[in-house]
Amino acid sequence: MINLIKTLAKSYNNLNQDGLESVLDENIIYESQNVLNALEGKQNVLSYLEGKFKTIHNSGNQVYAELGFLDKAKKKPCIILSQGDKENKGALILIEAKNNLITRIDICTVVPHWKSAIQTNEYPK
């Protein structure tokens, strides 16, 4: 799972979804606590991320996706997401996986809160 979370973090840090195609399940679900409806399906998620990354790039606000963990044993990896600067943390990204493919991406801005994660200061590129 750690390699999958690092691949997703790289896509956010580089604002490029191209590296995700090989690690997303065909029936992936992408859900954000700030949006009412979940996205379903690999192509829908890739298209959404392409638009999202393009908008962020055009805004000039850098995104920082830091590898984190929800437990001291480092068995529950996550991404701590910041925008503008590394200290402007705003979300936690969690994934579920099966057969070495990401089956679900959750963008959490309320629960669990990013403060509950153990920071690593590692920003996969």
Does residue 77 have a cis bond before it (omega within 30 degrees)?
A: no
What pLDDT band is residue 36 in, cutting at 50, 70 and 90? Answer: confident
Rounded to whole angstroms, how far apart are CA atoms 118 and 115?
8
Report the percent of the chain where pLDDT is more than 90. 93
b/e map 72-99, b = 16+ CB within 10 Å: eeeeebbbbbbbeeeeebebbbbbeeee
Report the percent of the chain where pLDDT is more than 70. 100
The per-residue pLDDT for range 70-121, each reduced to its tens digit, is 998 899 999 999 999 999 999 999 999 999 999 999 999 999 999 999 999 9
State which residues form the domain around 16. 2-122
Q: What is the largest distance, in Å, between two alpha-carbon atoms of the chain? A: 38
CATH number of the domain bearing residue 57:
3.10.450.50
pLDDT on residue 99: 97
Single-letter amino acid code for the residue at 31: E
pLDDT on residue 114: 93
What is the total count of domains within the chain?
1
What pLDDT band is residue 35 in, cutting at 50, 70 and 90? Answer: confident
